[in-house]
Amino acid sequence: MKIIYWSGTGNTETMANLISSGLSNQGKSAELLRVESVNVDDLKNENILILGCPSMGDENLEEVDFEPFIESLKGLGAGKKVCLFGSYGWGDGEWMKKWEEQMDSYGFELPLESVIVNEAPEGDDKDLCIKFGENIAKL
């Protein structure tokens, strides 16, 4: 399993590590990868993709590395599940709704509710990320 993410301030990276901890709690493991180091061809045999990106600008995905990566997943979604997560500093999560719709249009199944956290994950938000990882492990 791979957790692929983009993080500018470290908040989404922290979420990725917490999700990985949740997977470990269930006896699973994941490779954590920054999006700029991922080759889409290496994902063809993955049944579940775990993707994380914060909200940027006017509630969009990061445009230099992450959005082109997401667009490269077109045609890869059939028969695959995707679990999405990310952090934000403003807005109401509109970027996540658009991202979910985009992944659905690519044929991915979204079996779990996506996780969004305002700023850095602390307290209950840490637990939410760990639980997300535990739930992914049960898919």
pLDDT of residue 93: 85
pLDDT of residue 120: 95
pLDDT, averaged across the chain: 95
- pLDDT tens for residues 33-47? 999 999 999 899 999
The pLDDT of 5-26, averaged and rounded, is: 97
HSE, side-chain direction, 13 A CA sphere, residue 110: 16
Instruction: Tell me the domain boundaries of the chain.
Output: 2-137
Looking at domain 2-137, its CATH architecture is 3-Layer(aba) Sandwich (3.40)
pTM above 0.85, yes or no: yes
- pLDDT tens for residues 90-105? 888 889 999 999 999 9
For residue 57, is pLDDT > 90?
A: no
Closest C-alpha to 50, from 66, 37, 31, 67: 31
